């Protein structure tokens, strides 16, 4: 049996870093492509590849922040929600958008394609962490506003945003969050 204690230790201690703590440096293009390659190595029923990536660098994040303000005002979204969302992008230096891109299939239900897209999101977070960076999977109203993401990120009507994965260098380590009591949620049938 092959064991890999280092990988197991990583998986048992891995944790996100809040997006607001993520600054420069961010991964260079080669490192990021390695992260996306690792994240794309994912269980995918029927090999449909029901996801794709849209990468926003610092300038693109700043543009997103401005577009969020314009769109939010246009749609009379609450000021507080506009400010929070635009600041999240305004402070960002690198965001990987994981776009769920469901494919027509008689065999693989949409929910399974959704699960795969979620696995990819976690893969981006984990691969970024394993590359020495902090990462945070966020969504919020911007992710779910189909009109906005169609305009800002060229996302089609059949697609949706599974996650905005913020990546950068964490300026500090926040306190650990409570973790599940695994024994309490696990039942062994024998
Ligand atoms: C689909 C999804 C969407 C999320 N969206 C947000 C969000 O918009 N804002 C937020 O503060 N946290 C959000 N989170 C939670 C963060 O990713 C959080 O930092 C994470 O659960 C911490 O987990 P970890 O330390 O085990 O990686 C989201 C999580 C998931 C799975």
5: tokens are: 């204690």
Residue 73 belongs to some domain of the structure: no
Q: Judge whether residue 186 has pLDDT over 90.
A: yes
* Range in 35-39, 90-94, 109-113, 175-179 with the lowest mean pLDDT: 175-179
> Which pLDDT value is given to residue 73?
97
Q: For residue 24, which of 87, 91, 90, 93 has the smallest C-alpha distance?
A: 93
- Residue 43's domain is classified under what CATH number? 3.40.109.10
Q: Is residue 163 part of a domain?
A: yes
**Distances, alpha carbon 97 to alpha carbons 7, 9, 101, 148, 162, in Å:** 26, 28, 12, 14, 8
Any domain includes 115: yes
* 70 assigned to some structural domain: no
What's the pLDDT at 134? 98
- Name the DSSP letter for residue 177: P
Task: State the total domains in the chain.
Answer: 1
Q: Is the pTM of this model over 0.75?
A: yes
The pLDDT value recorded for residue 53 is 98
Express each pLDDT in 162-179 by its tens digit. Answer: 999 999 999 888 899 999
In ligand 1, the atom with minimum distance to the C-alpha of 179 is: 26
Substitution candidate for ligand 1 out of 21, 125, 137 with most atoms within 8 A of CB: 137
Burial of 132 (0-12, 13-18, 19+ CB in 10 A): exposed
pLDDT of residue 1: 86
- Residues near ligand 1 (Cβ within 6 A): 15-16, 136-140, 163, 177
Under the banding of pLDDT at 50, 70 and 90, the label for residue 21 is very high
Could you list the residue range(s) of the whole structural domain that residue 128 is in?
Answer: 20-56+93-170
How far is ligand 1, taken at its centre, from the CA of residue 1, in Å? 34
Express each pLDDT in 113-157 by its tens digit: 999 999 999 999 999 999 999 999 999 999 999 999 999 999 999
- Ligand 1 centroid to 188 CA: how many Å? 29
In a domain, 3, yes or no: no
What atom in ligand 1 is closest to the CA of residue 177? 25
Domain assignment of residue 150, yes or no: yes
Residue 132 belongs to a domain? yes
Task: Give yes or no for residue 67 having a pLDDT over 90.
Answer: yes
Q: What is the pLDDT of residue 138?
A: 98
């Amino acid at each position: 049996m092959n064991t890999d204690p280092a990988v197991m230790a990583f998986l048992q201690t891995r944790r996100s870093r809040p997006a607001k703590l993520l600054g420069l440096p961010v991964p260079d293009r080669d490192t990021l492509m390695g992260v996306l390659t690792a994240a794309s190595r994912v269980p995918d029923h029927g090999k449909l590849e029901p996801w794709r990536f849209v990468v926003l660098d610092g300038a693109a994040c700043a543009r997103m922040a401005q577009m969020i303000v314009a769109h939010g005002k246009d749609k009379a979204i609450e000021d507080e929600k506009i400010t929070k969302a635009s600041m999240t992008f305004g402070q960002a230096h690198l965001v990987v958008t994981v776009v769920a891109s469901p494919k027509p299939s008689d065999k693989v239900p949409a929910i399974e394609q959704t699960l795969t897209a979620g696995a990819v999101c976690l893969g981006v977070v984990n691969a970024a962490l394993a590359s020495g960076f902090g990462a945070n999977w966020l969504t919020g109203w911007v992710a779910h506003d189909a009109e906005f993401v169609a305009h800002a990120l060229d996302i089609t009507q059949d697609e949706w945003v599974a996650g905005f994965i913020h990546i950068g260098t964490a300026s500090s380590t926040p306190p650990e969050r409570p973790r599940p009591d695994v024994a309490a949620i696990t039942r062994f049938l024998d």
